[in-house]
């Protein structure tokens, strides 16, 4: 019976590898055709990298710059392969955003910056990189930077928002989760057999499987269905998480009208709607996107004649060409966040969701 299982497993692995390879060739063919269409239509590399107007008239005299912070916040790309790129449509790299802000500091045509945030958080160093970029831009130019939140700005997403001069949030928006989480950490109690085969593969234990998270911030692990570990391991990991949490709390307290005690004791690591967030001092105003643009223009002194621009990158063009290819290739290339699961994160929700095929 074991021999049959191993043969079946071997055959299935070969079949799966061939299937992935065939699909990769098909996707590459689609990309090639799309690029040929771009060339045939006169779309050049320069056109792809130019700024596009997302609000206002093209001939407006003054420019405000929009920087999207959409999706999971990581630090920088670990790879640059085309297949990996397909899995990164919901990722923003902190050091890329920092570079953009540093470049904008030398652009006299930009009167202000708006961070458009919709993020569940991510890594600490990725979030801090964006905050450092904001601080650099403000110090060098004196121009305003505001954060506009739509849908979600939790954990690292809120860390980024707090770096701006003011925070505006749209209706129906969720924000907060000022906390840190590490894990999951799993323990297989009494393993009696292990088989990596397809369908029939798995692990058998006498005591079951235990999984838990280490967290800091009241209610940060709210909804966690798992819960054990040695005392020394727990103390060590908890100390690491507490240190990161302390940095997070200190940063928010330094940038918002809140004390560290209010953050730890009253606000905790819960998330809040825009009305609660305003009452708690997490944001300054409730406004829609146009209202946020108008507000930044007023602070920059260009409200009479302005436009909002944003970089039009190759990713925008490729996303239109590939359509749903990203979702279909996730079995071949998992989300970049999956490699961060053993990292201290300022993240809201389940990291594992990003890693499902």
CATH number of the 47-177+270-357 domain: 3.90.226.10
Q: What angle do CA 50, 54, 58 make, to 5 degrees?
A: 70
* Per-residue pLDDT tens digits for 163-197: 999 999 999 999 999 998 887 788 888 888 887 66
The Cα–Cα gap between 264 and 216 comes to 10
| Contact between 244 and 344 (Cβ < 8 Å) | yes
- Torsion angle defined by CA atoms of residues 79, 85, 89 and 94, in that order, rounded to the nearest 10 degrees: 30
* Per-residue pLDDT tens digits for 258-317: 999 999 999 999 999 999 999 999 999 999 999 999 999 999 999 999 999 998 765 554
| Contact between 81 and 112 (Cβ < 8 Å) | no
| Contact between 142 and 95 (Cβ < 8 Å) | no
- Residue 217: the pLDDT is 82
Residue ranges covered by each domain of the chain: 1-43, 47-177+270-357, 182-268
Q: Quick check: 124 pLDDT over 50? A: yes
The Cα–Cα gap between 260 and 249 comes to 6
pTM for the full predicted model: 0.74
């Amino acid at each position: 019976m074991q021999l049959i299982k191993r043969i079946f497993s071997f055959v299935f692995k070969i079949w799966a590898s061939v299937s992935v390879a065939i699909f990769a060739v098909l996707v590459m063919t689609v990309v090639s055709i799309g690029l040929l269409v771009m060339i045939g239509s006169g779309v050049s590399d320069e056109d792809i990298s130019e700024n596009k107007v997302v609000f206002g008239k093209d001939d407006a005299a003054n420019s405000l710059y929009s920087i999207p912070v959409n999706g999971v916040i990581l630090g920088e790309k670990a790879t640059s392969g085309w297949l990996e790129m397909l899995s990164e449509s919901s990722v923003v790299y902190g050091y890329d955003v920092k570079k953009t802000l540093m470049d904008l500091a030398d652009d006299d045509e930009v009167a202000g910056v708006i961070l458009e945030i919709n993020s569940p958080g991510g890594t600490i160093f990725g979030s801090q990189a964006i905050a450092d970029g904001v601080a650099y831009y403000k110090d060098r130019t004196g121009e305003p930077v505001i954060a506009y939140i739509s849908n979600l700005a939790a954990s690292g997403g809120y860390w980024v928002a707090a770096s701006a001069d003011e925070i505006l949030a749209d209706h129906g928006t969720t924000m907060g989760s000022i906390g840190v989480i590490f894990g999951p950490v799993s323990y297989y109690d009494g393993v009696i057999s292990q088989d990596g085969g397809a369908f029939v593969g798995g692990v058998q234990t006498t005591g079951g499987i235990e999984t838990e998270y280490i967290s800091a911030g009241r209610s940060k692990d709210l909804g966690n269905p798992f819960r054990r570990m040695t005392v020394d391991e727990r103390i060590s990991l908890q100390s690491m998480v507490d240190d990161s949490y302390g940095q997070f709390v200190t940063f928010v307290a330094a940038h918002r009208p809140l004390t560290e005690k209010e953050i730890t004791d009253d606000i905790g690591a819960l998330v809040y709607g825009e009305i609660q967030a305003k009452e708690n001092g997490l944001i300054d105003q409730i406004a829609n996107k146009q209202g946020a643009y108008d507000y930044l223009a007023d602070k920059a002194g260009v409200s009479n004649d302005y436009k909002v621009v944003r970089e039009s990158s190759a990713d925008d063009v490729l996303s239109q060409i590939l359509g749903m290819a990203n979702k279909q290739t996730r079995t071949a290339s998992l989300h970049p966040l999956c490699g961060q699961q053993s990292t201290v994160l300022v993240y809201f929700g389940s990291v594992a969701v990003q890693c499902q095929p």
